Structure 1
Amino acid sequence: MATSYPQIVLFGDSLIQGAVANVDGFSFQAALQHQVLRRLDVINRGFSGYNTSNALKVLPDLFAPPGPGLPKLEYLFILLGANDACVPLPTNHQGVPLDKYKANLRRIVTHPIITAHEPKKIFLVTPPPLDEMRLKELDLANGHSTSTRQAKHSAAYSEAVRQIAAEHPDTVKLVDLWKALMDTAIAKTPGFDPSKGGPALGDAEGGVRGYLKELLPDGLHMSSEAYRIFYDLIAPLVGAEWANTKEEDRVGFVLPDWRVAPWLDEDAHLQGLNI
């Protein structure tokens, strides 16, 4: 039976699908795979345009129940909501009402196929902020009557992720990508003071894009810098069991280091020879 590697599965929409891309010399998925190389396989299950209803429907097609020779789901990252948060428009039908979004997330993190794997941790990731002004420009150009998403409305979906994660403290951990990106944008936007209680960066009501324009080039999808921020959030959360071990000990390797790797029986006499 072939040796299977335990898996980190990235499950979500275009923000996950895009994690594999190498942009400006950085790939989120490649960085994560490098971190866990020879210990875990990083699997991308990102589907552009999907909402939580789509994700729930296809989940049984993506995750096999545990079984002999099948890879174990060790960590699951879920990033969904950017499409659920679409506002109702005649030209867009991706939106899912907030209460149904929360119910769908609950069903994903408690799905029998997922829980049967007894993953070390499920990570719920908040959808990023929006640059509503930039997004509206592109939406109008694409034939919509207005923006398909609104900053305040989308922020409510990120808050819902926080709530669902808090409901499952033993199995689910929050990764607050929304906060990390917004904090970075605020810190790099001179003169913007969120303590004054006005609209957030990216909110059309306030009219200030600030540094979000660098993190969200089209108003929705993340730049290389944003993916680096995302990676820095999750890197400490994976592989704690070997984080403080000596590299030469190869703790957690699925197959042994070359120094102790098995040889073919017919070549065993060659071990240790200076050829």
Structure 2
Amino acid sequence: MTHNQKKVTVNKVILFGDSITELSSNQEYGFNLAPALQHEYFRKLQVITHGYGGYNTEHARYILDPILDAETAGGSTIRLITIFFGTNDSAENNQQYVPLERYAENLQFLTTQALRRNIAVILIGPALIDEDRVTDRSTRSNRAYSEAAREVAKKFNVPFLDLGKAFAALATNERDREYLGDLLSDGVHFTGKAYKIMYEMLLRIIREEYPALRTENLPTILPHILDIDHTDLPASLWRG
């Protein structure tokens, strides 16, 4: 095979979820999850955002396998997927609501799909709601769905990221809801501060639960500039 036939195949991290995942690429917030992960894994892994505004786990059942097929079609391996649904499933409206038991069943289905492909999984539970700004959702409901996600994670022995607990820890007392203004841009969606909390928790889980995915343990795609022999670029670039 000549150097013209070589392929640069980069393995992937998939962020899969609803609009909170979709907006995790928006850098207008000053800090955001997806760009931070992309920086963490530059020349190591590609971080791909698959967030779909308004979707719940019922929608997710039908789209995850095709997404995984598409992302591996070029020969890449998906090393990790985060699955983050629940805020829409718990909504008190006819378009998005998914009963709690069905939500848990759907998460089990999604987790099974990923694990069958040998993809590491992190389940993320829905966070809190600022009920002063939102009428069809509640923190109480989100907490129930988060606990259901925790139980699914326990059943499959995969890590669980508890955003609700992390956000609540910032309250000064049980009745304090003012802090939610710093975390939620509209009562539901995250601010840059909330995404930073999520990023730090996610990175900690990866480093503790999936040490093979620590950036220092991953090979760099193509050699460092100082390691390239400029008298024989093709052989030097593609060695090994």
RMSD: 2.5
How far does residue 217 in structure 1 lie from its aligned partner after superposition?
2.6
Give the Cα separation in 2 of the matches to 1:83 and 1:242: 30
Matched position secondary structure for 2:200: helix
Partners of 1:211 and 1:153 lie apart in 2 by 19
Distance 1:22 1:117 in 2: 32
Aligned to 2:117: 117
Helix, strand or coil: the match of 2:38? helix
Residue 226 of structure 2 corresponds to which residue in structure 1?
259
Q: What CA distance in whole angstroms lies between the structure 1 residues aligned with 2:117 and 2:166?
A: 30
5 Å matches for 1:192-271? 192=173, 194=174, 208-238=176-206, 240-241=211-212, 243=214, 252-261=219-228, 265=232
What residue identity is the alignment partner of 1:83? N
Matched, 1:180 2:144: no
Deviation at 1:18, TM superposition (A): 0.6
Q: Is the CA contact 1:72–1:117 (under 8 Å) kept in the aligned structure 2?
A: no
Structure having the higher helix fraction is: 2
Query: SS at 1:45's partner residue?
Result: strand
CA distance in 1 between counterparts of 2:27 and 2:72 reads 34
Q: Which has the larger radius of gyration?
A: 1
Tell me, yes or no, if structure 1 residue 165 matches structure 2 residue 167.
no
Q: Give the share of equivalent positions with the same residue, in percent.
A: 31
2:160 and 2:84 map into 1 onto residues whose CA distance is: 11
Partner of 2:109: 107
How many residues end up aligned between the 2 structures?
A: 227
2:15 aligned partner, one-letter code = L
Q: Distance in 2 between matches of 1:67 and 1:20?
A: 21
Gaps in structure 2 of 5+ consecutive residues: 1-5, 236-240
Shift in Å at residue 116 of structure 1?
Answer: 4.1
Segments of structure 1 that go 5 or more residues without pairing to the other structure are 136-146, 195-200, 202-207, 269-275
Q: 1:235 to 1:210 in 2, by over 3 A?
A: same
Once the two structures are TM-superposed, the CA of residue 237 in structure 1 deviates from its matched residue by 3.3
**Among candidates 97, 100, 105, match of residue 98 of structure 1:** 100
Q: Distance in 1 between matches of 2:12 and 2:215?
A: 21
Cα distance in 2, alignment partners of residues 264 and 100 from structure 1 = 62
Task: Say if 2:115 and 2:121, in contact at 8 Å, map to a contact too.
Answer: no
| Distance apart, 1:236 and its partner CA | 2.6
